[in-house]
Amino acid sequence: MDYWTTRSDKIFEEPIPNDPYFKSVYEFAKAWLQGQKTFLLTTSGSTGTPKEIALNREQMIASAHLTGQALDLPQGTRALVCLNVNYIAGIMMLVRGLELDWQLTIVNPGSNPLLDVPEAVCFDFVALVPLQLTAILRDESTRGRVGDLGKILLGGAPLSEILSREVRGLKIPVYQSYGMTETVSHVALRRVNGPASQENFQVLPGVEFGVDDRGCLYLRGAVTNKEHLQTNDLVTITSPNSFYWLGRADSVINSGGVKISLDKMDQMVGRVLQEMEQIADYFSWHEPDETLGQKLVLFLEGGHSFLGTEKLLEKISDRAKRYETPKAVYFVENFIRTPTAKIDKSATAQYHSNLAHD
């Protein structure tokens, strides 16, 4: 079975799926519908060591209703569930469907979920990571089906400049989310295409927010169990209900006494690659250096140098300050990714380093 379509009032009438993944969906739905109060989830590990977090039912219900209201997703919404249900984004798709009485079509998590769904099947809503939307748009057999997804919610990683450009050309609404396991999925959204597109994240109703003395966002609300949650995300508060994301405080390196934001570097590199009409996943990183302490380097996914390294660095230096030009460019066949499809930057850099020293 490539996909399974169900809803809360049908689950117990259907046979238990044989597919191990669908069976895990069934077991969660059973626990939820029988009123289980607490659920243990594991963080993705993209910004640190994965850890277990206990979420209570009230937090998850509050989050589900916030999403339904913010994106106007009423009873009967046809939703595609293609994110791993062992992590918060996938779990919350199930909770929304069960709480708001949606029709859920579940597929095994993969890079291109539309390959598992017949062309005649249409949806009103889907949550994707950028990797999945990129794969859908790059595949000729699925690119033309994007309009059948209804509304798209993108989360889990920042949008590259190349994907942002493609998204702006889509006719269906696309939103980027801000959130984490600790906030029970997203607490803020921004429209990224169409005439209503936004630069700033709009915080969902009932969520309090502010910044600490570092300029890092903190949150409090029903989704955090009314507890103060401090993040490492640097933001600028732009209104009583919105903020602009600058990057992570722990993604800043000190190179020769100069602080460099890796997140800002990624944005710059994305614009350069777009100008050069090159499509590749990439990330800025750092290496120890006897003179600088930390030196800036760039990783690109691909087994060989598909573009001239010198030309790339020249293009970056045209945009960047002298100390913001990477000191090296590395091409890696395949990036290591977390179970939620985020690039594991630390593991990828370490793997490349080990290969270089073998």
CB 340 within 8 A of CB 46: yes
Domain containing residue 163: CATH number: 3.40.50.12780
Nearest to 32, CA basis, from 12, 47, 52, 3: 12
Alpha carbon distance, N-terminus to C-terminus of the chain: 44
Query: What integer pLDDT is reported at residue 49 of this predicted model?
Result: 67
Q: Mark whether 265 and 233 lie in a shared domain.
A: no
- Please identify which residue in the block is written with the tokens 């219900």: 61
Q: Mark whether 157 and 293 lie in a shared domain.
A: no
Token pair, residue 41, equals 């989830």
Model confidence at 46: pLDDT above 70: no
Q: Mark whether 289 and 227 lie in a shared domain.
A: no
Query: What integer pLDDT is reported at residue 128 of this predicted model?
Result: 96
Token pair, residue 156, equals 């889990």
- Domains of the chain: total: 2
Mean pLDDT of 64-74: 96
SS3 273: helix
Beta strand 174-180 pairing with 185-191: antiparallel
Beta strand 216-220 pairing with 229-239: antiparallel
- Give 132 or 354, the one with higher predicted confidence: 132
Q: What is the DSSP letter of 290?
A: T
Given 213, 248, 283, which residue is the final one in a domain?
A: 248
- Give 324 or 208, the one with higher predicted confidence: 208
Given 196, 224, 248, which residue is the final one in a domain?
A: 248
- Which amino acid does the sequence have at 344? D
Q: Mark whether 149 and 212 lie in a shared domain.
A: yes
Beta strand 103-107 pairing with 78-81: parallel
Beta bridge partners of 230: 218
- Which amino acid does the sequence have at 60? M
CB 159 within 8 A of CB 176: yes
Token pair, residue 207, equals 């969520």
CB 209 within 8 A of CB 243: yes
CB atoms within 10 A of CB 114: 25
Model confidence at 159: pLDDT above 90: no
Q: Mark whether 272 and 235 lie in a shared domain.
A: no
Model confidence at 222: pLDDT above 60: yes
Query: What integer pLDDT is reported at residue 339 of this predicted model?
Result: 82
Q: What is the DSSP letter of 304?
A: S
Query: What integer pLDDT is reported at residue 278 of this predicted model?
Result: 80
Query: What integer pLDDT is reported at residue 101 of this predicted model?
Result: 96
- Which amino acid does the sequence have at 197? S
Q: Mark whether 158 and 278 lie in a shared domain.
A: no
Share of the chain above pLDDT 90, in %: 66
Q: Mark whether 45 and 155 lie in a shared domain.
A: yes
Model confidence at 123: pLDDT above 90: yes
Q: How far is CA 204 from CA 66, 127, 180, 189, in A?
A: 7, 17, 14, 8
Mean pLDDT of 270-283: 86
Share of the chain above pLDDT 70, in %: 96
Burial of 336 (0-12, 13-18, 19+ CB in 10 A): middle
Confidence of residue 35 (pLDDT cuts 50, 70, 90): very high
Confidence of residue 257 (pLDDT cuts 50, 70, 90): confident
Mean pLDDT of 227-253: 94
H/E run at residue 178: strand 174-180
Distance CA 136, CA 53 (A): 32
Nearest to 166, CA basis, from 25, 28, 30, 274: 274
Q: Mark whether 17 and 88 lie in a shared domain.
A: yes
> What are the strands of the beta sheet with 185-191, ordered from one edge?
3-6, 103-107, 78-81, 125-128, 151-154, 174-180, 185-191, 201-203, 242-248, 229-239, 216-220, 208-211
Confidence of residue 48 (pLDDT cuts 50, 70, 90): low
Query: What integer pLDDT is reported at residue 119 of this predicted model?
Result: 92
Q: What's the chain's average pLDDT?
A: 91
Instruction: Kindly report, residue by residue over 289-314, the tens digit of the pLDDT.
Output: 888 899 999 999 985 555 678 888 88
Q: Mark whether 69 and 205 lie in a shared domain.
A: yes
Confidence of residue 54 (pLDDT cuts 50, 70, 90): very high
Query: What integer pLDDT is reported at residue 47 of this predicted model?
Result: 56
Instruction: Kindly report, residue by residue over 167-199, the tens digit of the pLDDT.
Output: 999 999 999 999 998 999 999 999 999 999 999
Q: Mark whether 139 and 271 lie in a shared domain.
A: no
Model confidence at 287: pLDDT above 60: yes
- Please identify which residue in the block is written with the tokens 């994106």: 71
Model confidence at 149: pLDDT above 90: yes
Q: Mark whether 287 and 233 lie in a shared domain.
A: no
Distance CA 301, CA 310 (A): 17
Beta strand 328-332 pairing with 293-301: parallel
Distance CA 295, CA 54 (A): 38
Query: What integer pLDDT is reported at residue 227 of this predicted model?
Result: 94
Query: What integer pLDDT is reported at residue 147 of this predicted model?
Result: 95
CB 127 within 8 A of CB 312: no
Query: What integer pLDDT is reported at residue 356 of this predicted model?
Result: 67
Domain containing residue 330: CATH number: 3.30.300.30
- Give 71 or 302, the one with higher predicted confidence: 71
Given 221, 248, 275, which residue is the final one in a domain?
A: 248
Q: Mark whether 164 and 273 lie in a shared domain.
A: no
Mean pLDDT of 270-287: 87
> Which residues form the domain of 319?
256-357
- Please identify which residue in the block is written with the tokens 């985020």: 342
